[in-house]
Structure 1
Amino acid sequence: MSLRIGDNAPNFTAQTTDGEINFHEWLGDNWGIIYSHPADFTPVCTTELGRTAQLKDEFKKRETKVAAVSTDDLNSHNGWINDINETQNTKVEFPIIADDDKKVSTLYGMIHPNFSSTSTVRSVYFIDPNKKIQAVITYPASTGRNFAEILRVLDSLQLTAKYNVATPVDWEVGQDVIIPPSVAQEDVEAKYPKGHRIIKPYLRYTPQPNK
């Protein structure tokens, strides 16, 4: 059965390019992203892992750990890192999980049999510090991920976990957010001291609380 938002993120122990990790212990109190790749030494995956490495400081700023996984073995991963570093002008410093037994891919439902019985699709799981899955994005092998969107989703998840707001279409950090319909109008002024504007009774905006 596929994992859904609100489910516990399955724990596992695996060999990675950074040594053996227990996934939950490795995450600690951080947010986490685990994402899959169809295969090592492939062009789209190489650009994606390179982009992840280039965004190291952005993930660190968000207190988020990132781990990649594919169904190739550790030797393959270690060799591939050299290519990623060379072609993407970066340095991979996050773990790539060796999953040649498909244990992790199966736990997270990353193998879609109608696509392939052996290779993963491009799944992304966003995990909060309580080890709960908060968002899932899935792409086919032919479509490289948009990491600006991954960071945007992460920003929204972290904001809405801390404050009682929602983020509107195309929202980016610093823009106005939405007051949920569950908040009664008579309570809005006290709960959102930065002010608010009403478009419709159910559509109310307020400045981002932490900006």
Structure 2
Amino acid sequence: MTDTPRLPRLNEQAPDFDAPTTDGRRTLADYKGKWLILFSHPADFTPVCTTEFMAFARRAEDFAKLNCELLGLSIDSHYAHIAWMRNIKENFGVEIPFPIIADLSMQVAQAYGMIQPGASDTSAVRATFLIDPEGILRAMVYYPMTNGRSIDEFYRLLQALQTSDAKKVATPEAWQPGEPVIVPPPATAAAAESRASEGYETTDWYFSTKTIA
């Protein structure tokens, strides 16, 4: 009986890697001090993946302004990756500005749970991981092989995570910068009693919001 690989977990150290990419070898340590979005795709030269890569490429500068790097992955060779990048530029006029891991050994894909039995045994599903500047895994999302991701949502989520870290608040559904944020609910009966007088927009003791600069 073989051991089942331990899947990554939120708020723990992201699995380390040392892998060849289209920009040379990259390790998780190379991204220390920056946010990292690591995302996998099933295969090069496939239509859904092509749309996702172009969308990531178009938003790369926006992510960079938030101190965030992008890193793709699939179980293809770096020669296939390079050929696909060139093909996207020639056919669609979009240059891919971020590296892509060539994970022929599937070591990175296995460590991050990108291989999902029943969905794909030999290709990585559409998995996306947001890793903070300390190498802690903060969010992960898995999509099926048939459906593309929304890159705008990952950009929004990154902004929300950074706001929560900086302001010690939570963000409501579909939150966008400039909108009210949620104040942590009081932890004692006395604090709950005084919450309404603390200057927040309070609906009830457990639900208060405020606007931040």
The counterpart of 2:76, out of the listed 68, 72, 78, is 72
Unaligned 5+ runs, structure 2: 1-5
Q: Which of the numbers 8, 20, 23 marks the counterpart of 1:3?
A: 8
Q: 2:46 aligns with which of 35, 42, 54?
A: 42
Unpaired segments of 5 or more residues in structure 1? Answer: none
Indicate how the Cα distance of structure 1 residues 140 and 86 shifts in structure 2: closer, same or farther if over 3 A, else same.
Answer: same
| Cα-to-partner distance string for 1:43-98 (whole Å, 9 max, x where unaligned) | 01011111111112111111001100000011100000012223442211111000
2:132–2:138 contact (8 Å) kept in structure 1: yes
Whole-angstrom CA distance in 1 between matches of 2:43 and 2:166: 37
Pairing partner for 1:128 from 127, 132, 142:
132
Pick from 94, 98, 101 the counterpart of residue 105 of structure 2.
Answer: 101
Instruction: Report the RMSD for the aligned CA atoms in angstroms.
Output: 1.6
Distance 2:183 2:93 in 1: 43
SS in 2 for 1:55: helix
Amino acid in structure 2 at the alignment position of 1:177: V
- Are 1:9 and 1:127, in contact at CA under 8 Å, matched by a contact in 2? yes
Distance 1:188 1:160 in 2: 22
Give 1:187 shift.
7.5
Q: Identity, % of aligned pairs?
A: 37
Aligned to 2:3: none
Aligned pairs, number? 204
Runs of 4+ in 1 over 4 A off after TM superposition: 185-190
Q: How far apart in 2 are the matches of 1:188 and 1:68? A: 47
Q: Answer yes or no: is 1:175 the counterpart of 2:179.
A: yes
Query: 3-state DSSP class of the match of 1:153?
Result: helix
The change in CA–CA distance for 1:56 and 1:68 in structure 2 (over 3 A counts) is same
